[in-house]
């Protein structure tokens, strides 16, 4: 059975980027796209007729997206997106950023947080114009089961892409422990964990052959962004617990800031029950 994509949009001008990516992915995966727009009951447009809104969306769609299915509903946007994803059997939710400022992209914030925690499938937050397919992925890992799940989900969605596993380490109490020997011990321990992680039976041989391990010293965001640049990566993949939002991400409370600050698109993967 081919995968199914759900594109969630607020119909703002920047929605063209995630729409183009969703259409591009649908061609790669040989599947259809469902476009979902939720009329917020609390918004000024709450009285709008869903059928009329649907027709307006159809008229404004670019030619390459002419065949998408359109769903318009009223309700809470994040709750409705999560519900429709489950009801339609979607394998991936594609969405975008809320607005752009001089300080950088501002994501959908609590809406994305809610969707990531409640949606039954990964959530792709699109920031960049889709000039090419995703060729190189960077997956932040802490060697947990959540990281393993994120790697496998990304590998399944993008079977042709290289996967770079990136782990950041730091020397505890570095203000006092400045010995090169201490840093060496910490790095060696991280390398041992990486070896065990790569040997995990949860990886198929096909996926394991695509993994490229990297261990970097420093703050996790610094290490991740450096890996994105050095590998010319298209996509950052983050795994989350899905219990208490980004504070419970496997890579710590840095997940929300990385979702906002990443120069690339971001795939958020919640570990399934």
Provide CB contacts within 8 A for 186, sequence distance 6+: 169, 170, 171, 172
Question: What pLDDT score does 175 carry?
Answer: 55
Domains along the sequence of the chain with CATH: 5-126 (3.40.50.620), 136-270 (3.40.50.620)
Question: What pLDDT score does 248 carry?
Answer: 42
Q: Is 272 helix (H, G, I), strand (E, B) or coil?
A: coil
Question: What pLDDT score does 47 carry?
Answer: 79
Return per-residue pLDDT of the chain as tens, 273 residues. 667 899 998 887 677 899 999 999 999 998 889 999 998 887 767 778 889 999 999 998 888 888 899 999 998 888 899 899 999 999 999 998 765 444 444 444 556 777 777 777 899 999 999 999 999 999 999 898 888 999 999 999 999 999 999 999 887 665 555 567 778 888 899 999 999 999 999 999 999 999 999 999 988 899 999 999 999 999 999 987 644 444 344 444 566 678 778 899 999 887 654
Question: What pLDDT score does 12 carry?
Answer: 74
Question: What pLDDT score does 172 carry?
Answer: 65
Report whether 95 contacts 7 (CB < 8 A). yes
Q: DSSP state, 13? A: G
Provide CB contacts within 8 A for 63, sequence distance 6+: none
């Amino acid at each position: 059975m081919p995968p199914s994509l759900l594109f969630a949009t607020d119909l703002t001008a920047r929605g063209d980027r995630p729409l183009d990516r969703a259409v591009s992915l649908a061609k790669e995966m040989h599947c259809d796209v469902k476009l979902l727009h939720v009329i917020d009951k609390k918004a000024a447009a709450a009285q709008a007729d869903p059928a009329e809104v649907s027709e307006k969306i159809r008229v404004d769609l670019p030619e390459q997206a002419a065949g998408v299915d359109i769903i318009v509903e009223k309700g809470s946007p994040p709750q409705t997106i999560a519900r429709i994803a489950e009801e339609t059997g979607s394998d991936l939710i594609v969405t975008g950023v809320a607005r752009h400022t001089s300080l950088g992209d501002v994501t959908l914030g609590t809406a994305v947080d809610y969707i990531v925690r409640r949606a039954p499938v990964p959530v792709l937050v699109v920031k960049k114009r889709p000039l090419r397919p995703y060729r190189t992925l960077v997956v932040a890992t802490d060697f947990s089961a959540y990281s393993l799940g994120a790697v496998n989900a990304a590998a399944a969605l993008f079977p042709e892409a290289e996967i770079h596993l990136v782990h950041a380490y730091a020397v505890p109490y570095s203000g006092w422990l400045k010995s090169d020997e201490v840093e060496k011990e910490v790095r060696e321990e991280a390398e041992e964990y990486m070896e065990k992680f790569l040997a995990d039976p949860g990886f198929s041989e096909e996926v394991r052959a695509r993994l490229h391990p990297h261990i970097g010293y420093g703050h996790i965001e610094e290490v991740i962004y450096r890996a994105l640049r050095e590998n010319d990566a298209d996509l950052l993949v983050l795994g989350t617990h899905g219990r208490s939002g980004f504070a419970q991400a496997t890579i710590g409370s840095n997940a929300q800031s990385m979702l906002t600050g990443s120069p690339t698109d971001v795939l958020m993967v919640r570990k399934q029950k």
